[in-house]
Amino acid sequence: MIAGSHDAFLKLVPMRDKLVGMTTLHEQAYVQWLGQEANLSQGLAVELGCWLGSLTLPLLEGLARNPTHADRSKPWLHTFDQFLWWPEFDRFVRHTHLAGRFQENQSFFDFFMDQMLSWDGMVQTHQVDLATYEWSGRPIALLIVDAWKYPAVIQRSFQSFLPHLHPGAILFLRDWYWVTDTAMHVAMYRLRDYFQLLYRVPEPASSASFQLMRPLPRDLDFPGSIHEIGEDELHAAFEWSFNLAEGLDRLCVRIGQGWLHAKRGELNHARACIDWVKDQPGHTHPKVQWLRDTLQERGLGAALGWS
C-alpha cells in the first residue's frame, strides 16, 4: 500500500520535460512516482505496451529511487511490445525528430533499445505478441498497461499476467477514459470484486490506477472478441464505470460505450450514448471534442449523428 496522497506526484511535473510519445506529462510524472513509491518487496515491475518509452524511462527513474526491490541483482523492469510501426503513430511524432523516420510495419526495436542504453541491466525488453505470450510466472507488484487495445490482448493478460499479481499490487491503466480502448471497462468490471480504484490522473490525462485487494482466481478469462461480450454484461460494465467516474470523465465513459456499441454494429445503442453526451453542459469541453474528433476520424461521426 502506498502511503499518503497520490497527488504528491504533482511536485514532479515541473521537474520533467515531456518525452515524445502519446502519454501526457502528468502520466509520465505519475508513473515515475509509482515506480518510486510502490512496494516491490513481493514482486517486480512489468510494462505491457511501451511504444517509444515515454513511460518506460520515467518508470525506471522512479524504480532507481525505490528502496523496496526484492532482488537488485536482476532487472527491475520487464517491458513488452511488438515494436512495429502503425500509420496512426505518425501524427504523434509529426513535429519531432522522429517525423517520417518509420514506415508501416517497420520495426523500431533498435530505436527503443537505444533509449534504454543508460539503463542496461535494469530493464529487460521483450519483442513479442502480447496476444499469445506466456509470462514466466514471477510475482508482479506493479503492472503498467498501455496494451489493452484489443480483447485478444486483454484475454491473454487475464490468463498470463494477472494471476501473478499479489494483494497490494498496483495496476496502472493508460487510456482508461479514452474512446477506442473501452473493452477494458468490461475487463475491470469482471475484476471489480478484487480491485479498488486508487487514483485518476488529472487532466489532460485519461488514465487511472487500481490496487488488488485480495487474491485473484487462477481461472480468469475474458472474451477474445467484443462480439462475445453479452449485452447485459456490457451495459452493467459501463454503468459500473460511469458510477466510478466524476465530471467530464462520465461523458468520456458514455462516448466509449457508444464506440463499443458502434463497433458491434449496435448503432441505436451507440446513438443513445452520444445523444446523452450532446445534452450535457460539458459536451463542448476540449477533452470531449477531442473524442468527438476521434470518432469522426474513424468514420463514425455521421453514423452517430455527431459531426
What is the rounded distance in angstroms from the CA atom of residue 239 to the CA atom of residue 273? 12
6-212 architecture in CATH?
Answer: 3-Layer(aba) Sandwich (3.40)
Give helix 231-244 / helix 248-263 axis angle, nearest 10°: 160
The cell for 149 is: 487495445
pLDDT, average across residues 236-244: 97
Give the DSSP per-residue string, 160-200.
HTGGGEEEEEEEEETTTT-TT-THHHHHHHHTTTTEEEEEE
Whether 294 has a pLDDT exceeding 80, the answer reads yes
Quick one: CA torsion of 261, 151, 52, 57, rounded to 10 degrees?
A: 110
So what's the pLDDT on residue 72? 67
pLDDT score of 11 more than 80: yes
Looking at residue 239, what is its pLDDT? 98
Every domain range in the chain assigned CATH 3.40.50.150 = 6-212
Predicted local distance difference test score (pLDDT) of residue 4: 74
Question: Across all residues in the chain, what is the average pLDDT?
Answer: 94
What pLDDT sits at residue 74?
Answer: 75
Does 264 score more than 90 pLDDT?
A: yes
Cell 517497420, located at residue? 106
Report the Cα 294 to chain-centroid distance in Å: 18
Res 71: pLDDT: 67
Give the span between the Cα atoms of 92 and 69, in whole angstroms: 34
pLDDT tens for 55-114 read 999 999 999 999 987 666 678 899 999 999 999 999 999 999 999 999 999 999 999 999
pLDDT at 2 over 90: no
Is 83 strand, coil or helix?
Answer: coil
Q: What is the pLDDT of residues 21-30, one digit of tens each?
A: 999 999 999 9
The secondary structure element, H or E, covering residue 157 is helix 151-160
